[in-house]
Amino acid sequence: MRLENTVSLDTPEQRIEKLVELVGQATRTIRIRSGALDPELFDTREFADCLSTFARSSRAAAVHIMVDDPGRILSRGHRILELSRRLNDKIQFRTYYDEPDIERDSMILIDRRGLMLAPVDSKTTALSSLTDAVNTINQVDIFDHHWQMSSPSTQLRQLSI
């Protein structure tokens, strides 16, 4: 996939900084597709704080997270799981319906206009664009199709009770 107005992110710090910036631009829906929610990127105070701010920003705010291996997330703990306990009507988890792949790269989609592609290997450059609506809309459509095919993660949902 060729992204428009791309920013390359070579370090974990750059990835987190751009992820926080992307989430700060969200107004309605954040979609995350990841093998096991890479802790280096998603289990940080900065990300949890900005995700919490977004989720509380309006009644319409929603976070959809689709993972391959909820057991791995449960076994190591995760700030986003803690946050979902408090905001279970805003943050929803689903387990990907097809063959699991814990080495799956992460994709973050912000509304229908911005995205970030973050390889599992933190030594590989991540890519981000805040203005690539064409690719984002295409990826949102694919994500939404997979979301409908996938089931709510009973393992992760139990933590919300």
143 belongs to a structural domain? yes
pLDDT at site 20: 96
28 belongs to a structural domain? yes
pLDDT band at residue 3 using 50, 70 and 90 as cut-offs: low
Q: Where are the alpha helices (DSSP H) in 45-153?
A: 45-55, 70-76, 79-86, 133-149
66 belongs to a structural domain? yes
112-150 pLDDT per residue, tens: 999 999 988 777 889 999 999 999 999 999 999 999 999
Q: Whole-model pTM?
A: 0.90
C-beta atoms surrounding 131 within 10 Å: 13
**CA nearest to 79, candidates 41, 125, 110:** 41
136 belongs to a structural domain? yes
How many structural domains compose the chain? 1
Average pLDDT score over the chain: 89
Which segments within 89-134 are labelled E, that is strand? 91-95, 106-110, 114-118, 126-129
pLDDT band at residue 153 using 50, 70 and 90 as cut-offs: confident
2 belongs to a structural domain? no
pLDDT at site 161: 43
Residue 113, judged by CB atoms within 10 A of its CB (0-12, 13-18, 19+), counts as buried
Looking at the predicted structure, is the pLDDT value of residue 95 above 60?
Answer: yes
- The domain in which residue 63 lies consists of 7-160
Contacts of 21 (CB under 8 A, 6+ apart): 130
pLDDT at site 2: 65
Whichever domain contains 136, its CATH number is 3.30.870.10
